[in-house]
Amino acid sequence: MPELPEVETVRRGLAPVMEGRRILGARNNRPDLRFPFPEKFAERLTGTVIDHLERRAKYLLAHLSSGETLLMHLGMSGRFTIEAPNEAARDMAAFVYAPGGNPKHDHAVFDMEGGARVIFNDPRRFGFMALFATNAMADQSFLSGLGPEPLGNEFSPAHLDAALAGKKSPIKMALLDQRIVAGLGNIYVCEALWRAGISPRRMASSIPGKRSARLVPHIRDVLSEAIEAGGTTLRDFAATDGALGYFQHSFAVYGRENEICRADASHGPVQRIVQSGRSTFFCPSCQR
């Protein structure tokens, strides 16, 4: 699920039941996800207060009163669900993703002060968690190499120009590189390139200048709109209580192979190609 807008949607959903609240109990139900769970996971989390729940790129960062920070990544299939014991907690949970994953993939559980139970479910186990001293956050390899937040001030055409200079890889791959800009994934790269009228195959070094001036605002827009829509939900179905994101209905190209271009029905259909083993969708007429 998770690119920046989905992770941000999850953060907003979790914040009301986690932020400012004590973790009354925590446990992991298996020793590892993509990486082993942190040593003494339960002991280090139980009893501490989540002072602040932050998002950086596709990471969630829970800053704890213990002086540690819990870093969480959803991988490809990770999701959080909230089990709420009462009406008030259910209301707070209204934003959260896709309840009802197979319980055998419930890998971590947090029982929160206030009564909510937060469950991390991840069938593919590409997700992971890490726990480290907050004041050593800058040393974390997960975070230290990340490029700027695409919705922050640091992400500008000038930044993109510098980051893409001399890059021989296709712009599609460069935008997926979290060191260049942090938070884009396969969907939003495809959508942003379509909006900007740039071919995903174009060499990254040909973007600086007018094209990056066009691309930057489109990246911001598509991400902002997706956050506004509650992110994208694919293949995940749940009670239609408004909890699921609906940005997928706004896709211009992603998953639309052979369908007509939304910009101009007279264009050839949307094409799917494979770049570095991943699907790219684009309109060859719009995108040059």
Give me the active site residues, please.
2-3, 58, 278
24's CB contacts (< 8 A; 6+ apart) are: 46, 47, 111, 112, 113
277 is a site residue for DNA (CB under 7 A): yes
What the block records as the tokens of 75 is 């991988």
Indicate the residue type of 188.
Answer: Y
Which string of x and - marks every residue 19-58 that binds DNA (by CB under 7 A)? ---------------x----------------------xx
Of 101, 223, 215, 116, the C-alpha closest to 163 is: 215
Indicate the residue type of 163.
Answer: A
**Residue 280, phi then psi, degrees to nearest 5:** -125, 135
Sign of CA dihedral 216, 219, 223, 228: positive
Binding to DNA in span 174-193, by CB under 7 A:
176, 178, 185-187
Cα(25)–Cα(113) distance, integer angstroms: 9
Pick one of 94, 133, 158, 234: the residue that binds DNA (CB under 7 A). 234
Looking at the Cβ atoms of 262 and 278, the one nearer to DNA is: 278
CB of 143 to DNA, least distance (A): 9
CB of 76 to DNA, least distance (A): 5
What the block records as the tokens of 189 is 């790269």
Judge whether 58 and 74 are in contact, CB under 8 Å.
yes
Sign of CA dihedral 121, 127, 133, 134: negative
Pick one of 235, 249, 258, 265: the residue that binds DNA (CB under 7 A). 235
What stretch of H or E contains 189? helix 186-196
Judge whether 116 and 89 are in contact, CB under 8 Å.
yes
Judge whether 171 and 193 are in contact, CB under 8 Å.
yes
Binding to DNA in span 239-268, by CB under 7 A:
245
Pick one of 44, 238, 278, 285: the residue that binds DNA (CB under 7 A). 278
104 is a site residue for DNA (CB under 7 A): yes
Looking at the Cβ atoms of 144 and 266, the one nearer to DNA is: 144
Pick one of 28, 66, 212, 232: the residue that binds DNA (CB under 7 A). 232
126 is a site residue for DNA (CB under 7 A): yes
CB of 103 to DNA, least distance (A): 10
125 is a site residue for DNA (CB under 7 A): yes
Residues engaged in binding DNA (CB under 7 A): 1-3, 6, 34, 57-58, 73, 75-77, 102, 104-105, 123-126, 142, 166-170, 173, 176, 178, 185-187, 204, 231-236, 245, 276-279
